[in-house]
Amino acid sequence: MSRTLLVIDVQNDYFAGGVLPLWNAEETEARIVAAIGHVRAQGDRVVLVQHVSTAGKGLFAADGAGVAIRDAVLRAAGSAPVVVKHVADAFQETQLAVELEGTQELLVCGMMTQNCVVFTAISRAADHLRVRVVGDLCTAPTETVHRIALNALGSKLEVLDAAQVWNDLRT
């Protein structure tokens, strides 16, 4: 089965010093970097998503330092494609569907659980895929918001931890 790890919005604005630091951001980033390494070693694909705001300033402003995907993620992902989006759903008005051609299983992770992760995972454009959210590779503004979002997603699709997806993944 062709599998792709979709890494959503692991960008500077969500970390200390950014516009909207998230709960557990550094720890989540470390787990994502480890998962990317594991995915690539298994021969599966990685696709990165970058949110770029159409607003002139604030969160993910196109000319700000906060819009950049984190260096550790970029290094781990190597030559993985980067899909730029302007709304929560990474499929909407992007080339994501093209990048996922041949994919049967989509593993979704990233930031923010209750927003871009949810809207991408339940996008109608993903209906033909087996979509699973890797919950411990996601985060939100607070732990409570993160857990509520994962619980709600669990009624629509599979929500697993990395260890459940990759039995031998060690972070």
Task: Dump pLDDT digits (tens) for 97-129.
Answer: 999 999 999 999 999 999 999 999 999 999 999
Closest CA to 108 of 72, 83, 145: 83
Give the domain 3-165 fold.
Rossmann fold (3.40.50)
pTM: 0.96
Does residue 80 register a pLDDT over 80?
Answer: yes
Domain regions of the chain by residue span: 3-165
C-alpha span between 161 and 171 (Å, rounded): 12
Does residue 170 register a pLDDT over 70?
Answer: no
What pLDDT is stored for residue 169 in this prediction? 42
What pLDDT is stored for residue 106 in this prediction? 98
C-alpha span between 140 and 28 (Å, rounded): 10
